[in-house]
Amino acid sequence: MNNFYASVECMLDPALKKYPIAVCGSVEERHGIVLAKNYKAKAFDVKTGDAVWQAKQKCKDLVVVPPHYEEYIKYSKLARSVYERYTDQVEPYGMDECWLDISGTESLFGSPEKVANEIRETMKFELGLTISVGVSFNKIFAKLGSDMKKPDAVTVIPKDTFKEKIWGLPAADLLGVGRATQRVLDSYCIRTIGDLANTDPEFLRRRLGKNGVVLWNYANGNDLSLVAKKDFVSPIKSVGHGITTVADLEKPEQVWPVFLELTQDIGHKLRVHGLSAEGVAIHIRDNTLNTRQWQTKIALPTQSPMIIAKTAFQLFEKRYGWNNPIRSVTVQAINLVPQDTPRQIDMFMDAAKQDKLERMEKCVEDGI
């Protein structure tokens, strides 16, 4: 859906349509960044992730509106109800995007391009929202196609001519190529999707790990992943919690209690889902909005908030250079396994002590 948050806000208040607008988090609660913008704001180079003050510097007439998440959820569900008229294989990708598998429905609804245009018109007529649709033979190229023409458009990427259609596009347009990956690719003059497709996959593996081979397959049209059915619940891969602090954090002793507070929620969620963590990841955003992230393993799978917090803090002290004060902190429990997974005991690890700590924490949480 095009400029989803901003488009919903313009429907709720049609007077906004004539202005450049940005949906922004609360400045008072220090979530003051641009979450979405309309095309009028985009014309002034207002970008998602800009601080509010930066966005207003770029566009002095910018109208800032707060987010109304309950409305976004409502319209997201309404959109999916439209998609489900054509298939039960509807896989959400965030609140405003979905993959649909309409294989085998041609005798019912016509060609894929016809279906795409029909959905596009239905969304405008019934919901007042414009969408851009990508039609292709796999999920990655369908997503790429949806980004190629905006707003209110359909792009078809056929299997027999996809190289001509997309190999000239920037590699950064491909799903999975983030800023860090793009910097690595740029350093080896891999600028386009075609460059990526024609690079030795073993070279990419050495430079980018297994993700390098995944991207090589994507660029060559080898994505074989299936579209999940609408009621499919994907397994939990991580459990996290983050906070934007009321004031910038300037010393380690201010960071430790934040980690400890965040991991109470994480430990509770792990127990609810019957999972233990074998690793911890931290995401640190400083007051210039630069974000760094690191991860590490935990010696034994755990649900303990204290162990997760200590592991996170040790990682933080080892990696964060304190070039700037800290604006927000997120902790994630990663590499999750069922809580009853047998542990490979290391002779130097006190598993009994860890079990005792976890039982004590559970008793405290349960009020026993």
Q: Same domain, yes or no, for 169 and 126?
A: no
Last residue of a domain, one of 136, 162, 188: 162
DSSP secondary-structure letter at 14?
A: G
Residue 51's pLDDT is what?
84
CA distance 262 to 365: 15
Tell whether 149 is covered by a domain.
yes
Residue 179's pLDDT is what?
83
Q: Same domain, yes or no, for 348 and 245?
A: yes
pLDDT over 80 (residue 355): no
Residue 245's pLDDT is what?
85
What CATH number should be reported for the domain holding residue 195?
A: 1.10.150.20
Q: What is the mean pLDDT of residues 234-252?
A: 90
Q: Between residues 351 and 276, which one has the greater pLDDT?
A: 276
Q: Which residue has the tokens 């109470």?
A: 264
pLDDT (tens digit per residue) in 308-345: 999 999 999 999 999 999 999 999 999 999 988 776 65
Parallel/antiparallel/unpaired status of strands 34-37 and 21-24: antiparallel
**325: which residues sit within 8 A by CB, 6+ positions away?**
248, 249, 250, 286, 287
pLDDT over 80 (residue 199): yes
Q: In percent, how much of the chain has pLDDT > 90? A: 79
Contact call for residues 248 and 287 (beta carbons, < 8 A): yes
Tell whether 224 is covered by a domain.
no
pLDDT (tens digit per residue) in 29-78: 566 789 899 999 999 999 988 889 899 999 999 999 999 999 999 999 99
Tell whether 207 is covered by a domain.
yes
- Residue 92: give the domain boundaries: 76-162
Tokens describing residue 241: 């919690």
The pLDDT-based confidence of 353 (bands split at 50, 70, 90) is low
Tell me what the pLDDT averaged over the chain comes to: 91
What CATH number should be reported for the domain holding residue 12?
A: 3.40.1170.60
What CATH number should be reported for the domain holding residue 253?
A: 3.30.1490.100
pLDDT (tens digit per residue) in 116-154: 999 999 999 999 999 999 999 999 999 999 999 999 999
Tell whether 356 is covered by a domain.
yes
Q: Same domain, yes or no, for 98 and 29?
A: no
Tell whether 228 is covered by a domain.
no
**205: which residues sit within 8 A by CB, 6+ positions away?**
212, 213
Show which residues are catalytic.
Answer: 97
Q: Same domain, yes or no, for 114 and 192?
A: no
- Domains identified in the chain, total number: 4
Residue 279's closest CA among 266, 258, 295, 265?
295
The pLDDT-based confidence of 289 (bands split at 50, 70, 90) is confident
Tell whether 85 is covered by a domain.
yes
